[in-house]
């Protein structure tokens, strides 16, 4: 008989639950680009990028054929074309992507009402209790993938585990068209051997900081006390402590309403020249536009976040009657917010966020010149 040893923290976590949850994370494969290849047969098996192909354009999505050359979303079109000279640029059709997304989401709801969309092309599903009374989450994930393929012609990848953190990581392991399961008895070993930059919620800047602290894998993170991690990473310290032990109690929330969408950039060296900051701000604007499009988020308020070299932080906001959208509008508003007051000192981080969500059921107020 084979015995499995489980970390005491994880054991107590699983023991505290009446039953082990079965969470699936479904992530469509290169969604925007795949839809374009589906609708335009002449683009199939070719490296394509959805987005603007001009020198100031940006890649919203790249096909897997383009990714082989190092082309990625949020990359400038200029760099993308250098990496892949034969790259084909296609203008995005977000109404079409939304149409396909709605069909995919309707498939999810056939299995469970506990569906938490993260964006237009991915969602968490809690199938611990499901409408078809299927005992295996793997069986459900396979059936969902099959249905998506049959009804849309597209492929999806699925990750399955006991919580959202692990399911999210699992869905990325065998992409494209993959399925990966992390069962309860394998959680501890999986996390201990997971590279820290693969942890969901650990970005590049944090990963670099952890590397300098000798934290390269989950087993290294697990050695740190919650006190040490809170001192080193502030409010995120508790999160890192628990995920190192496979603990994530967040429920799949079907009523989750995104309140904002944002992005930020930390400079390698501090900036003080306003013109230089405005120029660099363009890449932050492009990244924000991509995130707004992917999440289908619409809001009226733009907030500029500034973090100075002394770590002092301030925010400046502008609220409009209409939706804050489009690269030109966001860049102009961001520059106006930047010019609102003189900078106190050099800048180490800049961020942009759209909030004040617009309910699509409410009529939009139009600006009329008279």
Whole-angstrom distance, CA of residue 178 vs CA of residue 30: 13
Contact by Cβ (8 Å): 215, 224: yes
Structure tokens at 186: 């394998």
> Could you tell me whether strands 23-28 and 122-126 are parallel, antiparallel, or unpaired per DSSP bridges?
antiparallel
Structure tokens at 318: 């502008």
Helical axes 274-295 vs 327-338, angle rounded to 10°: 140
Whole-angstrom distance, CA of residue 272 vs CA of residue 294: 32
The question of whether 188 is a catalytic residue gets the answer no
Structure tokens at 149: 């393929």
DSSP string, 49-75: EEE--STT-BEEEE-HHHHTTT--TT-
Set 36, 65, 116, 122: catalytic member: 122
Residues in the chain: 370
Contact by Cβ (8 Å): 144, 25: no
List Cα–Cα distances, 225 to 130, 208, 212, 297, in angstroms. Answer: 38, 19, 17, 38
Contact by Cβ (8 Å): 28, 34: yes
Long-range contacts of 2-10 (CB under 8 A, 24+ apart): 4/185, 5/188, 6/185, 6/187, 6/188, 7/188, 7/222, 7/245, 7/246, 9/242, 9/245, 9/247, 10/187, 10/188, 10/245, 10/246, 10/247
Query: 3-state secondary structure string, 8-41?
Result: HHHHHHHHHCCCCCCEEEEEECCHHHHHHHHHCH
| 211 contact partners, CB below 8 Å, separation of at least 6 | 196
Catalytic residues: 122
């Amino acid at each position: 008989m084979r015995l499995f040893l489980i970390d005491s923290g994880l054991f107590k976590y699983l023991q505290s639950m009446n039953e082990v949850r079965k969470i699936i994370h479904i992530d469509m494969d290169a969604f925007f680009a795949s839809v374009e290849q589906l609708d335009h047969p002449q683009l199939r098996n070719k490296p394509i990028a959805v987005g603007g192909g001009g020198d100031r354009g940006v890649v919203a999505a790249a096909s897997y054929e383009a990714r082989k050359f190092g082309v990625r979303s949020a990359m400038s079109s200029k760099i993308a074309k250098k990496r892949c000279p034969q790259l084909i640029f296609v203008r995005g059709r977000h109404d079409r992507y939304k149409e396909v997304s709605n069909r995919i989401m309707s498939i999810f709801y056939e299995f469970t009402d506990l569906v938490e969309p993260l964006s237009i092309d991915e969602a968490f599903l809690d199938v611990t209790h499901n409408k078809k009374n299927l005992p295996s989450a793997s069986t459900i994930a396979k059936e969902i993938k099959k249905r998506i393929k049959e009804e849309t012609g597209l492929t999806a990848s699925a990750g399955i585990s006991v919580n959202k953190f692990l399911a999210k990581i699992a869905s990325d392991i065998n992409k494209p068209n993959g399925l990966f399961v992390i069962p309860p008895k394998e959680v501890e070993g999986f996390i201990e051997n997971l590279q820290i930059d693969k942890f969901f919620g650990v970005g590049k800047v944090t990963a670099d900081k952890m590397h300098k602290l000798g934290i390269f894998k989950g087993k290294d993170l697990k050695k740190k006390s919650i006190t040490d991690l809170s001192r080193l990473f502030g409010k995120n310290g508790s999160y890192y402590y628990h995920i190192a032990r496979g603990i994530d109690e967040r429920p799949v929330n079907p009523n989750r309403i995104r309140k904002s969408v944002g992005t930020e950039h930390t400079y390698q060296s501090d900036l003080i020249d306003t013109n230089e900051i405005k120029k660099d701000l363009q890449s932050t604007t492009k990244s924000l536009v991509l995130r707004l499009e992917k999440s289908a988020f619409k809001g009226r308020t733009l907030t500029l976040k500034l973090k100075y070299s002394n770590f002092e932080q301030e925010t400046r906001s502008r609220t409009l009657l209409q939706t804050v959208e489009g690269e030109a509008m966001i860049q102009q508003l961001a520059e106006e917010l930047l010019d609102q007051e003189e900078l106190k000192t050099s800048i180490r981080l800049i961020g942009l966020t759209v909030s004040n969500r617009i309910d699509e059921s409410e009529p939009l107020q139009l600006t009329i010149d008279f």
